[in-house]
Amino acid sequence: MRMVNQSPHGARRGRDLWRDRNFGQLMADSRKKKKSGGPRTARLRAAKPAPMAERVGELAWAGQHAQAIELATAALATAGLSAGNRLDLLDLRAESFIAQGDLEQASADAAEMLDFANRAKTPGPKAQARNRLALVQMRKGEFKAAVASATAALKAARQSKQVPLEAMSLFRLAEAQFRNRTDFEQAVRDAVRAAALFHTLGRPADEGRALWVISMARSAQGLAAEADQAANAALALGRNSGDLYGVGNALNMLMFNEADHGAKLKLLNQALAAFEAAGYVERQGAITGNLGIAYRELGLYRRARRLHLKSGEIAERTGRRDRLGPNAWELARDEIEMGHLDAARAYLAEASAMAVEAHQDRRFPFLKPMRYGRLAARAGDEATALRHYKHAVELLRNADEPANEMNTLAALARAHLAVGNPGSALAATRRATKMHRARGLASLQVLSPAMVWWRHSQALQANEKTKEAREALEMAYQFMLKGIASLSDEGLRRHYLNKIEAHREIVLAWIKDARKRRLSPERRAAHLAGEANLREPFERLVDTGLRLNELRSATELHEFLIDEATELSGAERVLLVLETAEGLQLAGSLVPRGEDAQALLHDIAPALTEVHRTRAVSLMHGPEGAGKLDQRSRIVAPLVAQRQLLGYLYVDIDGAFGRLRESDRDLIGMLASQAAVALDNAQWSQGLEQKVAQRTGELQTSNALLEQRANELGIINSIQQGMAAELDFQTIIDLVGDKLREVFKTGDIGIRWYDTKANLIHYMYEYEHGIRLSAPAAPPATHHLKLMETRLPLVMNSRAAQVAEGVRPLPGTDQGHSVVHVPVLGSDRVLGSIMLENYERENAFGEAEVRLMSTVAASMGVALENARLFDETQRLLKETEQRNAELAIINSVQEGLASKLEMQAIYDLVGNKIREIFDADVVSINLFDSEANLVRYAFLLDHGERFHPESRPPAGFTRHILRTLQPIVIHTAEELDRQMTELGASNIGGGTVDNSCIYVPILRGNSAAGVISVGKQPAHAFSNSDVSLLATLANAMSVALENA
């Protein structure tokens, strides 16, 4: 397994390019130059930058490569352009062509530069042209040629005695040497020299890029600490200089030796964002491929395949044919892990052919036997796997690829154990773990440390070395835990634990051994600990709804649903079961190797029958009475659309790998609601197509129906896209109501929400005769109760039908001739309803209107559930933050008392803590002595400066608050001036005017013991929650001091 690293670009700010390349001096090379030292110390005296080159360079630096190319092309067509400017514009344009992936045009510009340099017969232009050619060659995968070009560039640069050219040539040569993978140490030496020269020249962006080459080489050598040190330094330089390209490369490097997959995904997504901003399409493809590997390491093989396919498309589009072979190796690995062995063989054949064509078989000869060994093992042919792994190990002995060597030794040990060679297995794992210890047990690029130590434990156990085997198991378990240390998405955590073969084995072995050793439940289930973040899966679910509506075939939908249910929940087993005339049909499944999906369907039949009866999402844990680790969690969600039960979505997971919760039930329930709509649409479309084929005489009618349904889907998509962008409850309701009024051309509509706790119907959106109405909440009427019981639309196409159902108009409104109520369904209950009314005629609502309303209601239910859960999450987060702030104040007081501080020191602690919590510019603590009728200013910090006013009688804001015990909140400077005038307040402290202020009383019983205030310069800086928090902190401080 290999992740992608690429070289930094050559486009920097136009002014830096001018300085780098000595623009304007190419025509003057024949003039005698005044020396200021040897070739390695000479400093370049740059002429004034050409305005056009400056502008082109700035555009490229900002990631606007299309504009840069256009401007450079126009400038190059100008008559009378100097030779120096022409060379520089060609150089800049070639870099932007590389960014866009147009290597043919970049090659043409590099060739023109070289032709000009050869005719100039001076070393400076030759160095510049050769450097450009070397970069183009690297992009095309011609690494040996790139080394030769960069070597020639360095020779010419030293002849020119221009330090910037020498530094750039060293940098190009170092990268080419690394890419050619023949001498990592020489690459490091040249990169170190380049970095030193760039540092002397005061060019931090280029210095950072040279450090990035060092990081690449050290990482490939398994020297993780040195690699990360260089990458961190490169990242700091890139950020400080605004070099987004350098930032992306450094972030990518930091990912390689990162053990924690949560941190790894964050680094990769940040790198992708940096490359998007820098405008480098090819680099986006590289990071996309690395994301594929990262998700495969989490057990999300289908997502990994999707990302690798996308990475291959980008490589093809950008001319990076050298990337197509490595990408095919990765796709082969994805298919192997999914058990698609024929597809894997096809990718392996393609990758092998490409490797020979691109001469990559000489650079990475071990990849082929490694992949074929894994393929054979997955097919159960352990003898063939053993032969391939032996070959790979031999090739890796002198390859300076320690991580791949350790992984392959572990795989070799597994094969030895499978064929009954425990001694050989132990010899292989001892060698692998010795290598790992020699590198400080670091998390190395592409290394799977948990797998290496687990195979060592198995080999030790097979050789009856029980104590050592237990120690190795402990190591494997701890390395496995490091991989999910900060991963807050429970679905991804469960994937990591149950989809990776070695991890499944480690978890089961650990639990078994922990029980033998009678370890505590916490240690036994440490892999299941960790905070869960609900926002990430719910955000993915919103995107899922949009993608579902883009799929049209049933086959695509079935596979997509299995993938999404698995990714969202991290389940071990997922079944998609459809209700058909012949009975239950298994439309898709994902189960662990060796298990039978049909047998599982038979086992869960009673659970499906119960959900068929209730039509509600169920969550079960069983067997009853067993411990959590020994229970299996199951969720069954009905697929209901158009009053019809289409089937079921089933997921489960064994307790050893996780426990499904209510939040998982809600997620799967919402996915099932979206899936039912999509399946109904697909079935309807397919049924319509069959009818068209069978009944050609009804073609015109069928086409009309198809167009109508397409229009409905367009409406649904537009509503879903709007809802996907919102997490505000009322905003979603207004959006849906406005769209439905537009679609049905009606002014008579209502959206109601049911409050289960209060047993009230809330009228959230009501229009009659085109006028929006407001109605008070009321208990549910008879038709509301029927709607909640049946969960089916209620259509009343006459006033008589309305009377029969007990429907009466709201007070002050009219009764229509036709009305339809459609339920808005959540995962396990009716959330509310959508109502349409027609005052002009009976029988106004037919199947088409009810279907469209039902589809919108289903999507709306998902969005409202998301909004409700988001609001609840935000509320809990706010409460947690408030409680933490209270505890911080109380702790400050207690710390001061424990340290026997003076009271003034305690007030200082509290004041500084309040400043930190609110990020305030001004903080004051005023204490009131009622007996002396004086206010003492215990703490006053105004824009970083402490003030110590004399005590004085209460006045202004303080006097008002002491009397009323009510807070004062100011939002603008004008409001502050007005309040100061009304209350007779004067300024105490510095002269800076702040727009936003809060003043709250320090309550003690029924009186105030003082006032705490905070201020900020921006207007409207404080919310109601900030006022509440400050009041709570004031009370917490008062209580803490009183109790002390």
pLDDT in tens, 745-772: 888 999 998 888 889 999 989 999 999 9
Give the pLDDT confidence score for residue 869 in this predicted structure: 61
Domain boundary among 164, 181, 198: 181
**Spatial contact of 514 and 561, defined as CB atoms under 8 Å apart:** no
pTM: 0.64
**Cα distances (Å, whole numbers) of residue 996 to 157, 453, 925, 970:** 60, 58, 17, 5
CB distance 360 to 337 below 8 Å:
no
**Token pair 């020699």 in the structure block, residue:** 438
Cβ-contact 768, 809 below 8 angstroms: no
CA dist 767 and 748 (Å) reads 5
Q: Where are the alpha helices (H) located in 43-122, listed in sequence order?
A: 51-61, 65-76, 83-100, 103-120
Per the document, the length of the chain is 1044
pLDDT at 568: 87
- What residue type is 529 in one-letter code? A
Crossing angle of helices 224-241 and 244-256, in 10° steps, is 160
> What is residue 13's predicted lDDT score, i.e. its pLDDT?
35
pLDDT at 591: 93
Asked if residue 218 lies in contact with residue 183, where contact means CB atoms within 8 angstroms, the answer is no
The residue behind tokens 């109605």 is 775
Mean pLDDT of 55-83: 92
- We report the CATH number of the domain holding residue 758 as 3.30.450.40
pLDDT at 894: 62
pLDDT at position 657 over 70: yes
What are 998's two structure tokens? 């809060």
The pLDDT value given to residue 545: 65
Domain co-membership, 24 together with 171: yes
213 and 252 in contact (C-beta within 8 Å)? no
Q: Please provide the average confidence, as pLDDT, over all residues in the chain.
A: 86
Contact 479/253 with Cβ under 8 angstroms?
no
Output the CA angle 20-23-26, nearest 5 degrees: 115
* Residue 270: C-alpha distances to residues 93, 327, 982 (Å): 27, 22, 52
pLDDT of residue 42 exceeding 50, the answer is no
Q: Which helix (H) or strand (E) holds 836?
A: strand 830-838
Cβ atoms of 142 and 319 within 8 Å: the answer is no
Contacts of 254 (CB under 8 A, 6+ apart): 228, 231, 232, 235, 267
* Residue 698 lies inside a defined structural domain of this protein: no
- The pLDDT of residue 851 is 84
In Å, what is the CA distance from 644 to each residue of 139, 578, 673, 691, 793? 56, 12, 12, 21, 11
Do the Cβ atoms of 569 and 651 come closer than 8 Å? yes
Question: What is the model's pLDDT at position 559?
Answer: 86
Provide the CA 419 distance to its chain's centre, in angstroms. Answer: 42
pLDDT for 1 equals: 39
Residue 287 domain-assigned (yes or no)? no
One-letter amino acid at 924 equals: S
CA distances from residue 58 to 11, 14, 95, 792 in whole angstroms, order as listed: 9, 5, 13, 61
Give the pLDDT score at 986. Answer: 87
Rounded Cα distance, 270 and 528, in Å: 27
* Mean pLDDT in residue range 175-179: 94
d(CA 255, CA 964): 58
199-211: b (≥16 Cβ within 10 Å) or e: bebebbbbbbbbb
**What's the pLDDT score for residue 552?**
63
Tell me the pLDDT tens digit for each residue of 509-526: 999 999 999 999 999 999
Q: List Cα–Cα distances, 454 to 317, 406, 509, 792, in angstroms.
A: 41, 12, 10, 54
Average pLDDT over residues 33-56: 49
Contacts of 764 (CB under 8 A, 6+ apart): 730, 733, 751, 752, 753, 832
Residue type, 995: N
Q: What is the pLDDT of residue 593?
A: 87
- Kindly tell me the burial class for residue 467, based on how many C-beta atoms sit within 10 Å of its own C-beta (0-12, 13-18, 19 or more): exposed
Judged against a pLDDT cut of 60, whether residue 236 lies above it is answered with: yes
Does the structure show a pLDDT above 60 at 713? no
One domain, residues 521 and 539: no
Strands 573-580 and 644-654, bridge-based pairing: antiparallel
The model's pLDDT over 327-364, given as tens digits with 9 standing for 90+, comes to 999 999 999 999 999 999 999 999 988 877 655 555 57
- Please say if the pLDDT value at position 131 is more than 50: yes
The predicted pLDDT at position 988 comes to 85
State residue 585 phi and psi, 5-degree precision: -125, 130
Query: Are 822 and 793 spatial neighbours (Cβ–Cβ below 8 Å)?
Result: yes
Evaluate the omega torsion of the peptide bond into residue 326 and state whether it is cis, within 30 degrees of 0. Answer: no
Mean pLDDT of 674-686: 74
Note whether 105 and 81 are within 8 A (CB): no
> What's the pLDDT at 189?
97
Rounded Cα distance, 671 and 862, in Å = 8
Q: In CATH, what number is assigned to the domain containing residue 60?
A: 1.25.40.10
State both tokens at 267: 């680094």
User: Domain check: are 105 and 252 in the same one?
Assistant: no
Task: Confirm whether 12 is domain-assigned.
Answer: yes
pLDDT value of position 482: 93
Same structural domain, 410 and 491: yes
Domain limit, last residue, from 623, 655, 680: 680
Give pLDDT, residue 1032.
84
Lowest mean pLDDT among 124-133, 814-823, 1029-1038: 1029-1038
Query: Does the residue 568 lie in any domain?
Result: yes
- Counts for the chain of helices (H) and strands (E), in that order: 41, 17
Please determine, for residue 228, whether its predicted confidence score (pLDDT) is greater than 90.
Answer: yes
Same domain, 190 and 176: no
In a domain, 328, yes or no: no
Q: For position 1015, what pLDDT does the model report?
A: 94
Helix/strand/coil for 472: helix
| SS3 at position 440 | coil
Q: How far apart are CA 1030 and CA 1037, in angstroms?
A: 10
Angle between helices 184-201 and 204-220 (to 10 degrees): 160
Q: Which helix (H) or strand (E) holds 606?
A: helix 605-614
pLDDT digits (tens, 9 = 90+) for 538-569: 776 766 766 676 666 778 888 888 988 998 89
Q: How confident is residue 879, by pLDDT bands cut at 50, 70 and 90?
A: low
User: What gap in Å lies between CA 831 and CA 755, rounded to an integer?
Assistant: 8
Closest by Cα among 126, 122, 220, 138 to 171: 138
Nearest to 1011 by CA among 1030, 986, 1026, 992: 1030
Of residues 700 and 575, the one with the higher pLDDT is 575
Q: Are residues 148 and 210 in the same domain?
A: no
Q: What is the pLDDT of residues 85-95, one digit of tens each?
A: 999 999 999 99
Which of 203, 772, 156, 120 lies closest to 763 in space, CA to CA? Answer: 772
| Same domain as 798, residue 742 | yes
DSSP code of 750? E
855 and 956 share one domain: no
At residue 684, does pLDDT exceed 50? yes
Q: What distance in Å separates the CA atoms of residue 509 and residue 501, rounded to the nearest whole number?
A: 12
Do residues 855 and 993 both lie within one domain? no
pLDDT in the model for residue 483: 92
3-state secondary structure 380-394: CCHHHHHHHHHHHHH
Phi, psi dihedral angles at 862 (to 5 degrees): -60, -45
pLDDT digits (tens, 9 = 90+) for 804-852: 888 888 888 888 999 999 998 877 788 899 999 999 989 988 888 888 8
Question: Is the pLDDT assigned to residue 184 strictly greater than 60?
Answer: yes
CA distance 686 to 673: 20
> Can you give 376-439 as a three-state secondary structure string?
HHHCCCHHHHHHHHHHHHHHHCCCCCHHHHHHHHHHHHHHHHHCCCHHHHHHHHHHHHHHHHHC
User: Which of 181, 208, 242 corresponds to the end of one domain?
Assistant: 181
Q: Is 76 left (phi over 0), alpha (psi -120 to 50) or beta?
A: alpha
What would the two tokens of residue 177 be?
């040497």
- In the prediction, which pLDDT does 1008 show? 92
Instruction: Kindly give, in sequence order, each residue whose CB lies less than 8 Å from that of residue 732, ignoring residues fewer than 6 positions away.
Output: 723, 726, 860, 863, 864, 867
Round to whole Å and give the CA distance between 572 and 500.
11
CB 1044 within 8 A of CB 906: no
Please state, for a pLDDT cut of 70, what percent of the chain lies above it: 85
Nearest one of 91, 115, 113, 127 to 9, comparing CA atoms: 91
Residue 133: inside a domain, yes or no? yes
Place of tokens 């411990």: 627
Containing structural domain, residue 23: 1-181
Q: Is 981 exposed, middle or buried (0-12, 13-18, 19+ CB in 10 A)?
A: exposed
- Residue 302, domain member (yes or no): no
Note the Cα 281 to chain centre separation in Å. Answer: 19
Number of domains making up the chain: 6
User: What is the DSSP secondary structure assignment for residue 254, as one 8-state letter?
Assistant: H
The residue-averaged pLDDT of 767-782 equals: 89
Q: What pLDDT, in 10s, does the model give residues 631-649?
A: 999 999 999 988 889 999 9
Per-residue three-class SS string for 890-948 = HHHHHHHHHCCCCHHHHHHHHHHHHHHHHCCCEEEEEEEECCCCEEEEEEEEECCEECC
Q: Is the domain of 981 the same as that of 971?
A: yes
- The winner for highest mean pLDDT among 46-55, 192-201, 880-889, 964-973 is 192-201
- Domain-located, residue 217: yes
Torsion 772-777-778-784 (CA) sign? positive
Amino acid found at 5: N
Residue 16 is predicted with a pLDDT of: 45
853 with 996, same domain?
no
Q: Is the same domain home to 845 and 920?
A: no
| Per-residue model confidence as pLDDT tens digits over 2-21 | 344 443 333 333 434 433 43
